[in-house]
Amino acid sequence: MLLIREVFHCKPGKVRPLLKMFQEMAKLMPADQGGRMRMMTDFAGENYWTLVSEFEVADMVEFEKMMNGEGMSEEDGKKMEKIMEGYHDLVSHGHREIFKIEG
């Protein structure tokens, strides 16, 4: 099992709009593909205005399928695109972390 963590460092004041996008996006995700997504905002840390989303996948093959939109209807894929329009305007930079769950 892998834990995928997406870390977004937002522009000032843009965490809440990005969080709203991710909450809407999570509703469209099939339950077995990130529908269990957990979202966190920073309370304190090195960088302010940080949003972290994390979810579990069985392996990299499942992650790749999820990233390619497999398991999602065409209609939901279009809704996802609409939800995420302009998200680059909210984010300064970010990175992805992938951890193997050991226990």
CATH number at residue 62: 3.30.70.100
Number of domains in the chain: 1
Higher pLDDT, 67 or 17: 17
Tell me the pLDDT tens digit for each residue of 38-78: 999 998 878 889 999 999 999 999 999 888 888 888 898 89
For residue 46, give its domain range: 2-100
Higher pLDDT, 3 or 33: 3
Residue 35 has pLDDT above 70, yes or no: no
How far apart (Å, rounded) are the C-alpha atoms in residues 33 and 42?
25
pLDDT at residue number 34: 52
- Which residues, including other chains, have CB under 8 Å from residue 35's CB and lie 6 or more apart? 26, 29
